[in-house]
Homo-oligomer: A and B are copies of this chain.
Amino acid sequence: MIVVLRLGHRLKRDKRITTHCGLVARAFGADKIILSGEKDENVISSLKNVVDQWGGPFDIEYRKSWKSVIKEYKAKGFKIVHLTMYGIPYEKLLPKLKGNLLVIIGSEKVPAEVYDLTDYNVAIGNQPHSEVAALAVLLRSLLPMPSFSGKIKIVPSERGKRVEKI
């Protein structure tokens, strides 16, 4: 089981990035995203809407205290994985990233404490880029692409857009 914890959402700046994080978590096979920081009903409802239309299972939860999330999942035996450009390149750590994982992605300012509460600080390259990209690449290297059975389904096409409504 893989749960994603998004830290420090800011209503003014992060709406679209956090939504992309949630969509990536679902599309690349995580089971759940927990949103922390400022509570953003728009992000929550747009993610729930995607699950409703395109299929699940995929859970979305808001928790005010990220620290309690880390403690809870640690107690459940999850390994705590923090995606950060300051960490160890993921290719080296992949063999250790098995079993149940809590994958933490930050926004701009990650509290120093996070680095100590985690089992692994993992870098998808040590260059600045994007938590959206880091999450996608990590999940892609841990899991097969999942399939969904929702109300809408794309028929892969060489040209144009083919959508089936079920």
Q: Which residues of A come within 8 Å of B, CB atoms?
A: 13-14, 16-17, 20, 23-24, 26-28, 50, 54, 85-89, 112, 115-116, 120-121, 123-130, 132-137, 140, 145, 148, 153-154, 156-163
- 3 pairs of A and B residues whose beta carbons are closest in the complex: A133-B136, A20-B130, A126-B154
Cα(A85)–Cα(B13), bound, Å: 26
| Of A112, A137, A148, most B-chain CB atoms within 10 Å | A137
Shortest distance from the beta carbon of A71 to any chain B beta carbon, whole Å: 18
Cβ B148 vs Cβ A20 within 8 A = no
Inter-chain contact A128/B23, CB cutoff 8 Å = yes
Q: CB distance A156 to B27 under 8 Å? A: no
Task: Select A54's contact among B16, B28, B128, B140, beta carbons within 8 Å.
Answer: B128
Q: How far is the CA of A115 from the CA of B160 in the complex (A)?
A: 6
Give the complex CA separation of A154 and B136 in angstroms.
Answer: 22
Q: Please give the distance in Å from A120's CB to the nearest CB on chain B.
A: 8
Assuming the A-B contacts A16-B17, A137-B137, are A87 and B130 also in contact, with contact meaning beta carbons closer than 8 angstroms in the complex? no
Q: Kindly name the residue among A87, A120, A128 whose own CB sees the greatest number of chain B CB atoms within 10 A.
A: A128
Q: Which of B123, B140, B148 contacts A127 (CB 8 A)?
A: B148
Q: With A23-B128, A28-B129 in contact, do A157 and B17 touch (Cβ < 8 Å)?
A: no
**C-alpha gap A17/B19 in the complex (Å):** 11
Neighbour of A162 across the interface among B26, B86, B124, CB < 8 A? B86
